[in-house]
Amino acid sequence: MHPGSRIPQLHATSFDGALSWFSEMQVDGLMFHPDDDPAEISRIADGKRVFTDEEAAEVRFVLSALFSALGDEVYEAAYPVVMKSAGLRLDA
């Protein structure tokens, strides 16, 4: 969103836009559950915060836009990406 930010730009407040955004977050190692406060997410390895204050604000902004447009469909868009990042297979 901002120059130099690790947070990918949200291209559309649609299901596909949300899926794409979550996928980009996962590829960059920034995946999280949409209910989690990004400011409180820490790495297991070292306990350091995953997001800076500015990045956490960006993530909150994106999630607010997605939840406003999609409601609970945000979870459906995030689900396959969360499962993949956890190394779990999707239901067939």
Containing H/E element for 42? Answer: none
In the prediction, which pLDDT does 31 show?
Answer: 87
Single pTM value for the model: 0.86
Provide the b/e sequence for 55-71 (b: ≥16 CB within 10 Å): bbbbbeebbebbbeebe
In the prediction, which pLDDT does 84 show?
Answer: 78
**Average pLDDT by consecutive 10-residue portion of the chain (92 residues)?**
82 97 94 93 92 96 98 95 75 60
C-alpha dist (Å) from residue 77 to 9, 17, 21, 22: 16, 9, 9, 8
